[in-house]
Amino acid sequence: MDHTEEIYRSAREIYAGYGVDTEEALRKLDAIPLSVHAWQGDDVKGFEAAGHALTGGCQVTGNYPGYARNAEELRGDLDVALALIPGKHRVCLQGHQIDRALPGIDRDAFTIRQFSCWLDWARQKGIGMDIAPAFYSHPLLDHGLSLSHPDAGIRRFWIDHAKAIRRIAAEFGRALGTPAVCNEWAPDGFKDIPADRLAPRERLRESLDEIFAETIDESLVLDAVESKLFGIGAESYTVGSHDFYLSYAAKSGKLICLDSGHFHPTESIGDKLSAITAMQGRILLHVSRGVRWDSDHVLVLNDELLSIARETVRCLAAGAQIHIGLDYFDASINRIAAWVVGARNMQKALLCGLLEPFERIRACETDWDFSGRLALGEEARTLPWGAVWNYYCLTRGVPPDAGFMNDIRSYEQEVTLLRG
Ligand SMILES: C[C@H](O)[C@H](O)[C@@H](O)C(=O)CO
Ligand SMILES: [Mn+2]
């Protein structure tokens, strides 16, 4: 018997002693797709001929060689990353990660033509696609404003971009047989204290209403709206704040997108999941890691990630729809390693949640035995979930932790380091 399997059998017995079925946990993990964010591979540059600099309050730092210079290279890199993440996943694009730029066609006129190779690729791989408009890195993000700009012409450009991307999402949904999540995040905000906080929010609300006026069936597109506390250069006021979007989502039946880098560091995203599940029943997550600010570091297996994953697992079990998107970008390390390490950490956190002896911990709570709840919760942390994880990798045909860097290093030598 293989060593990994032998260790797994012991772990399975230990978990069974706590009333946890490891096989069931692995089946559940298989059924949780991640939406892998394509923008880790091109440093959020996109592939428009204009080559606009990154704007909108986001920063990518680092100059590790080998970023994808076009959509074809990006797909090649994603092929390698996806092969090292166990299970079947989706891919999410930003609205400027087009196949090829066509002269005279700007973002407000994009159609599926700009994304047809992505569709062919996804169809071939049998995976779903998600997409988000890119309301940044463009000269019409004027004074830091897009959908909330006072100039109707500027708003028109961005509204039309969002409508175009929703239609592309519908094409993805139709062709791939799984609804595309289409997430609206606009960076609009002010560096310093605004005189008028209300008018931009009213304009944003009107722009969103117009974007969503075209009815697209939810079997094709799931619309989401993403809030943010602040961005670089928009420290004092963000038009699309959490209060704004949470109410907008509730009122208009859209998904609220919670990005774990978009809140005050002492706020727990994990705690928000059940609050929103109880009221709206569905959420889009953008899982990221802020270090002191919305720095979009690669996910590590820290307490915040474990708490998000644990609550995700509990809300899924209660019948909620939780869509998990990854959202980080690090240009200081190998970008494929960034994808793989972060995605696998998300999965490990979910596995820990699935393996938690929840029924027993809850029984303590029901009996008002808070000391027992604390003791058992802490005991659960040291149960042998690592043995279950390695077995999961083995049985899903991907290398365990110590192994996947070999594939990444070979690809780096043969492909990404040869890029200019
Ligand atoms: C690339 C964008 O920054 C990202 O998709 C958006 O969701 C965000 O989190 C902006 O901070
Ligand atoms: Mn995000």
Ranges of each domain in the chain: 32-349
The preferred substitution site among 42, 165, 226 for testing ligand 1, maximizing ligand atoms within 8 Å of CB, is 226
pLDDT computed for residue 133 by the predictor: 98
pLDDT band at 401 (very low <50, low <70, confident <90, very high): confident
Instruction: Give the chain's mean pLDDT.
Output: 97
How far is residue 322's CA from residue 364's CA, in Å, rounded to a whole number?
Answer: 27
The residue contributing the CA closest to ligand 1 atom 1 is 44
Catalytic-residue membership of 259: yes
Choice from 259, 260, 330 to test ligand 1 binding pocket (greatest atom count within 8 A of CB) = 259
Give buried/exposed letters for 370-393 (b at 16+ CB in 10 A, else e): eeebeebbeebeebbbebbbbbbb
Known catalytic membership, residue 99 = no
| pLDDT over 90 (residue 1) | no
Average pLDDT over residues 4-19: 97
| Ligand 1 close to Cβ of residue 296 (< 6 A) | no
Fold of 32-349: TIM Barrel (3.20.20)
**Mean pLDDT across the stretch 75-84?**
98
Of all residues in the chain, the percent with pLDDT exceeding 90 is 96
408 contacts 80 by C-beta, under 8 angstroms: yes
Pairing of strands 255-259, 282-287: parallel
* CA–CA distances in Å: residue 85 to residues 63, 79, 308, 312, 346: 25, 10, 20, 19, 10
Dihedral over alpha carbons 221, 222, 228, 233 (to 10 degrees):
0
- The preferred substitution site among 91, 181, 229, 286 for testing ligand 1, maximizing ligand atoms within 8 Å of CB, is 286
Q: Is 262 annotated as a binding residue?
A: yes
* pLDDT per position as a tens digit, 134-179: 999 999 999 999 999 999 999 999 999 999 999 999 999 999 999 9
Is 323 annotated as catalytic? no
108 is in an annotated binding site: no
In this prediction, the answer to ipTM > 0.95 reads yes
Which pLDDT band, with edges at 50, 70 and 90, does 327 fall under? very high
Q: Is the CB of 226 under 6 A from ligand 1?
A: yes
Counting from 1 in the atom list of ligand 1, the atom nearest the Cα of 37 is: 5
The whole-number pLDDT of residue 321 equals 98
CA atoms within 13 A on the CB side of 295: 14
Q: Indicate which residue of 171, 184, 296, 304 is catalytic.
A: 296
Q: Using CA atoms, how far apart are residues 232 and 294, in angstroms rounded to an integer?
A: 9
Atom 7 of ligand 1: nearest residue by CA position: 185
Compute the distance from residue 326 Cα to the ligand 2 centre, in Å: 8
Please tell me if the CB atom of residue 185 comes closer than 6 angstroms to any atom of ligand 1: yes
Average pLDDT of span 395-402: 92
Q: Which ligand is nearest to the CA of 229?
A: 1
Would you say the CB of residue 99 lies under 6 angstroms from ligand 1? no
Answer whether 43 contacts ligand 1 (Cβ < 6 A).
no
Residue pair 179/218 in contact (Cβ under 8 Å)? The answer is yes
Catalytic pick from 118, 185, 339, 385?
185
**Which residues have C-beta under 5 Å from ligand 2, the single-atom ion?**
259, 286, 327
The total number of residues written for the chain in this structure: 420
Q: 402 falls in which pLDDT band (50, 70, 90)?
A: confident
Whole-number Å distance, alpha carbon 185 to ligand 1 midpoint, is: 7
Ligand 1 within 6 A of CB of 94: yes
On whether the CB atoms of residues 416 and 80 are closer than 8 A, the answer is no
